Structure 1
Amino acid sequence: MRSVVLAVIFAGQGSQEKGMGAEVFGYYPGLVQFASDTLGYDLVSLCTENPDGLLARTEYTQPALYVVNALRTFERVHREDRPADFYLGHSLGEYNALLAAGVFDFETGLRLVAKRGELMAAASDGGMTAVLNTPAEHLLKIFADDGVDGVDIAGFNTASQIVIAATPPVLAVAHACLKRREIRFVRLRVSAPFHSRYMEPARVRFAEFLKRFSFAEPAVPVVSNVTGRPYRPGQVTRMLTEQLVTPVRWTDSVRTLLDGDDGLEFTEIGGSALTHMVQKIRSGV
């Protein structure tokens, strides 16, 4: 029995950057070529050169991040790093968590993420914004008082940061409202209003697509974005479907683990933003 409990966490969309994956592509040429053939474009070129800014487009971002973080995970195993006791990922990152936990193989995950990115990119135009130091209930009341309609809460990142999603006209009105109230906000690097009502067309089509696949139960507990709790038996298809239209409960997910072990350690694959969030959640800010 190990004395230290480890949670491995996976970054999601927004963590992409030109040059990502360069440190691992050379170790897995077969998987990289397979991914390129499956996706229909040169994955290495996309990630290292970012031609025409394609990495900012959801249909390219999601499979690229999935592949890069999968290879980083394989390399972690190859180095015989300490095995994880829990996996969790932020939005797209949950697919890497499920892969690491043995729910599906690399090919299945790639096909799922490619379809997810395609559907999410096509479902609606819009965006997402992080709002700081304003509880969700208070924020929604402000919007209601100012006649701002059509904003969804799309994520609970920390006690001091929530995420909203909407179409461009609605977000413009919401931003104006926040400025009047002197509430700080930051536009996110995404191209659609994920985790909101606006993803309902994608949810319907993705649910149909998922019928083609069967999934194993996680060999290591994976915490769901939808519930903030570990997956229960038989939940994979439903959780992956609902994830598209429900908020990312990152705060609840992390607290679920912290409540069980105050000494829990976290290792992030794909960036450092989630690690900073964990630190804030741990300190209650």
Structure 2
Amino acid sequence: MITYLFPGQGSQKQGMGSSLFDEFKELTEQADETLGYSMKRLCLENPYSNLHKTQFTQPALYVVNALSYLKKIQETNIQPDYAAGHSLGEYNALFAAGAFDFITGLQLVRKRGELMSMATDGKMAAVMGLTESQVADVLHTRELHTVDIANINSPHQVVISGRKEDIERAKAVFEGIKDVTMFHPLNVSGAFHSRYMSEAKEEFKKFLQSFHFSAISIPVISNVHARPYEQDGIRSVLADQIDHSVRWNESIHYLMNKGRMEFEEVGPGHVLTGLIHRIKKETEPSGAV
């Protein structure tokens, strides 16, 4: 069995998709028309450093991931057995599963990026060396009650999210803990996947009401539940994803426990491939599904 994995924010880089825009000229033109700017120029020239601004990053990654997927299918003619994506990448997993067409997905992602970019004064940081429960315990005992767990990326890589000053306070706390191997602030403008995104979530929930979702042709593992999407739950899960934790570690374990599973990252970079190696190294599948 094979699972295609689609990366999210943080995997963007100037030059991504360079060979794809001319190859998929019609889709690139449709994307430009939908967005009102040139996707090729954004990705290859990165004017005004826009590629690293959330409202531009999310559509750019979605387009490059989607074209990478279409290219892969063209070359191999192999449909995956499962699909999953990290945060924004989940939209590409749903696209691969036929839940919506290319432009519908882009419209969703554009709105999501706009709403998330409006949540400023937030920060995120990766804590390496502690488990999710250990991080939660530190947040509780050290009275960091305004900081949330945003991503559980591997057994010992947990991302926290909150206001800038609270993440700074957390930095001093975590760096004083013996088992913490690294505290790494992420280059993001908002406290994504936390309580501070609740306003963006509510706005996005309203936006989703006008969209129709087609039948999912392959199981897509949701970040929110670490289980496959249910057809009638697509809207609510996509809205919840904005202010809920990304349960990546649990999602990968769910897939590993399905049997002999291969994982292929589709899109720019190797972030998810690295996390798969980390997950396999740090734990063994339990056998439970």
Matches of 2:144 and 2:176, distance apart in 1: 13
Tell me the TM-score normalized by structure 1. 0.95
SS of 2:184's equivalent in the other structure is: strand
**What does 1:75-154 align with in structure 2 at a 5 Å threshold?**
75-154=71-150
Tell me the TM-score normalized by structure 2. 0.93
Residue of structure 1 equivalent to 2:266: 269
Count matched residues: 280
Q: How far did residue 53 of structure 1 move?
A: 1.0
From 213, 235, 245, the counterpart of 1:247: 245
Residue of structure 1 equivalent to 2:30: 34
Q: Percent identity?
A: 42
Q: How far did residue 80 of structure 1 move?
A: 3.0
- 1:146 aligned partner, one-letter code: R
Matches of 2:80 and 2:196, distance apart in 1: 35
Q: Unmatched 5+ residue regions in structure 2?
A: 284-289
- 1:110 aligned partner, one-letter code: L
Q: How far did residue 269 of structure 1 move?
A: 0.9
CA contact (8 A) 1:223 1:231 kept: yes
Residue of structure 1 equivalent to 2:287: none
Q: How far did residue 284 of structure 1 move?
A: 2.9
Residue of structure 2 equivalent to 1:191: 189
2:76 maps to 1:66: no
SS of 1:235's equivalent in the other structure is: helix
Matches of 1:221 and 1:139, distance apart in 2: 31
- 1:227 aligned partner, one-letter code: H
From 24, 42, 46, the counterpart of 2:42: 46
Q: Which moved more, 1:207-216 or 1:274-283?
A: 274-283
2:234 maps to 1:236: yes
Q: How far did residue 90 of structure 1 move?
A: 0.4
CA contact (8 A) 1:129 1:185 kept: yes
2:21 maps to 1:25: yes
CA contact (8 A) 1:149 1:170 kept: no
Matches of 2:281 and 2:215, distance apart in 1: 33
Matches of 1:112 and 1:31, distance apart in 2: 16
